[in-house]
Amino acid sequence: MVTRPDTSAVLSVHGLRYEVGDRAVLDGVDFVAPAATTTAIMGPSGSGKTTLLMCVAGLLTAKAGRVEVNGRQINTLSPRQRASVRLTDIGIVYQFGELMPELTPLENVALPALLAGSAPSQAYQRARELLAELSVGEVAQTPTAALSGGERQRVAVARALVNRPSLLLADEPTGSLDRAAADLVADVFFRLPQAHGCAAVVVTHNPRIAARADAQWELDAGKLTMDRP
């Protein structure tokens, strides 16, 4: 099933193609992610899920196709402009958190807000609120390296939300967690679109996690097909 670009959607992807050498990792991918919804992209390991997410985030440059965030085509922007879009419009949660171990969780969360020019008091206040909302407020000042895997991922989610993005991307956010911790993070993650009004796209190979999304897509051999609308 092919979806046309939808200008009302937060994220709209059309005809996305990405190649590594002679191999097409993504071959004409189309999908949309409306506001306040969750979208899951599934697929076996090596199918290109993370590549798709990185192309959407502008971290990788696609060979062809369009990626629009809030109606703005980002894959034709300069690296500096793409970084600016990521800072203000997109929040990303990586598989392994990717927190800076030297900073406290509170500082890690406040970091993008400070980069975006927020006043320190507002940035830290927002960071505290998010950490509390995600049930990790009590570890705000704990050394980051001492956090558990679930705590680190929730801090990473808080960091992704601190600039109130309209699009939240998550790359296997529960991939490194046990079932209980994965459920906890998933509970948090799938509540976010409704609570914050953003579109959320999660890449996972865990069907149980994907089943909680509003829409599910399957990526295989470079093609994206809708599994469940």
Q: Which residues bind another protein (CB under 8 A)?
A: 45, 50, 54, 57, 59, 79-80, 82-84, 86-87, 92, 94-96, 98-103, 107, 111-112, 114-115, 119-120, 123-124, 143, 145-148, 171-172, 175
Strand partners, 181: none
In the numeric block, which tokens belong to residue 30?
A: 């189309």
Q: Measured from the CB atom, is 64 or 87 closer to another protein?
A: 87
Minimum distance, C-beta of residue 219 to another protein, in the bound complex (Å): 14
Q: Measured from the CB atom, is 32 or 123 closer to another protein?
A: 123
Minimum distance, C-beta of residue 101 to another protein, in the bound complex (Å): 5
Q: Measured from the CB atom, is 5 or 175 closer to another protein?
A: 175
Minimum distance, C-beta of residue 144 to another protein, in the bound complex (Å): 9
Q: Which of 15, 37, 13 is nearest to 166 (CA)?
A: 37
Containing H/E element for 72? strand 72-73
Minimum distance, C-beta of residue 161 to another protein, in the bound complex (Å): 13
Q: Measured from the CB atom, is 30 or 165 closer to another protein?
A: 165
Q: Measured from the CB atom, is 191 or 205 closer to another protein?
A: 205
Q: What letters, b where the CB count within 10 A reaches 16 and e where it falls short, cover 91-118?
A: bbbbbebebeeeebbbbbbbbbbbeeeb
DSSP state string for 123-181:
HHHHHHHHHHHTT-GGGTTS-GGGS-HHHHHHHHHHHHHTT--SEEEEESTTTTS-HHH
